[in-house]
Amino acid sequence: MRLEKIQDALTKKRILFTYTEDEGRGSLDFQFRGLRYHIWEFEEEGTWGVETNVKHAGRSEDILGDYEKEISELVLGWPDMAVPG
């Protein structure tokens, strides 16, 4: 399983997501406040990163380095989801 820090952050925020793994690369898709987000992991010449739109919902960008920490901290800063019941 990949992208575990981000999955934990999404779970803490009560954001439902879909996780997929293909050829050792993780992928997360979810909605938050009516917007669709993606986090798609890639590896190029030994460098790992993700393509994502979590910073700017309308625009994808690549994040390299400690992308799990960066994205999980961003998600944890979002407002909590209202859960009925």
Q: What is the CA radius of gyration of the chain?
A: 13
30 vs 16: CA distance, rounded Å: 6
Average pLDDT over residues 33-39: 94
Does residue 71 surpass a pLDDT of 60?
Answer: yes
How many angstroms separate the CA atoms of 19 and 30, rounded? 9
Q: What is the pLDDT of residue 36?
A: 95
pLDDT-based confidence at 85, cuts 50/70/90? low
Instruction: Provide the whole-model pTM.
Output: 0.90
Task: Name, in order, each residue with C-beta under 8 angstroms of 85's C-beta and a sequence gap of 6 or more.
Answer: none
pLDDT greater than 80 at residue 81: no
CB within 8 A of 19, min separation 6: which ones? Answer: 1, 3, 7, 26, 27, 28
